[in-house]
């Protein structure tokens, strides 16, 4: 199959025409750059395979549910790599949390905290709480709802009337960036 314009791909998928052929074309055309991106970001070949699958599924879902909007200034490959980037970051965040929990469990499982360790930990928690309080109210609500209460982005958007899940995702990202700046500044 020759190179297909994005508009043709979208039209055929939305009309249910040649879906298998289009899907094969997408894999054949974009699998290599997507895998290359994930490998470049430190992923294994298995990670790359998984992410490519997730990217293709996400793309097809967006097209078929009419939530994908073609932009003339963005190539399809760039869009797919953007999805891969988000999927990879989410996977890395999940892996990081799992490793952190394992570390905390093994660290705390050995010996009980000494009074000095308890004071140190209390000081750190107090400092972290103070930094968190410097965020705006919306940031505190979003981060608390997402990380402590484990609410979905959709639920947070609905609960706090923040528009769409995508809007909440962007606000959460900005809040995290702000918190990182606050803690980085405070550490210096």
Helix or strand or coil: residue 61? helix
- Whether 9 contacts 28, CB under 8 Å: no
Structural domains for the chain: 6-89 (1.10.1740), 115-187 (1.10.10)
Assigned token pair, 85: 């980037």
Give, rounded to a whole angstrom, the gap between the first and last alpha carbons of the chain. Answer: 57
Helix or strand or coil: residue 67? coil
Give 131-151 as a DSSP string: HHHTS-HHHHHHHIIIIIS--
Each residue's pLDDT tens digit, 40-92: 888 888 888 999 999 999 998 888 888 877 777 678 888 899 999 988 888 87
Query: Mean per-residue pLDDT for 10-20?
Result: 87
28 pLDDT tier (thresholds 50, 70, 90):
very high
188 pLDDT tier (thresholds 50, 70, 90):
very low
The overall average pLDDT reported for the chain is: 81
Higher pLDDT, 154 or 106: 154
* Per-residue model confidence (pLDDT) at position 141: 92
Helix or strand or coil: residue 41? coil
- What is the distance of C-alpha 97 from the center of its chain? 13
Match 């289009």 to its residue by tokens. 22
């Amino acid at each position: 199959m020759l190179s297909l314009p994005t508009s043709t791909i979208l039209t055929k998928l939305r009309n249910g025409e040649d879906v298998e052929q289009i899907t094969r074309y997408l894999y054949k055309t974009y699998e290599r750059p997507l895998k290359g991106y994930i490998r470049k970001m430190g992923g294994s070949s298995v990670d790359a395979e998984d992410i490519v699958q997730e990217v293709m599924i996400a793309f097809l879902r967006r097209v078929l549910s009419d939530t994908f909007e073609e932009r003339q200034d963005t190539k399809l490959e760039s869009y797919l790599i953007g999805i891969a980037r988000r999927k990879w970051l989410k996977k890395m965040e999940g892996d990081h949390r799992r490793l952190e929990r394992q570390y905390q469990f093994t660290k705390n499982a050995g010996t009980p905290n000494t009074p000095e360790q308890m004071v140190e930990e209390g000081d750190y928690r107090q400092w972290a709480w103070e930094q968190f309080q410097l965020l705006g109210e919306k940031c505190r609500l979003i981060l608390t709802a997402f990380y402590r209460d484990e609410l979905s982005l959709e639920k947070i958007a609905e609960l706090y009337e923040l528009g769409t899940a995508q809007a909440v995702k962007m606000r959460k990202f900005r809040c995290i960036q702000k918190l990182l700046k606050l803690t980085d500044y405070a550490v210096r």
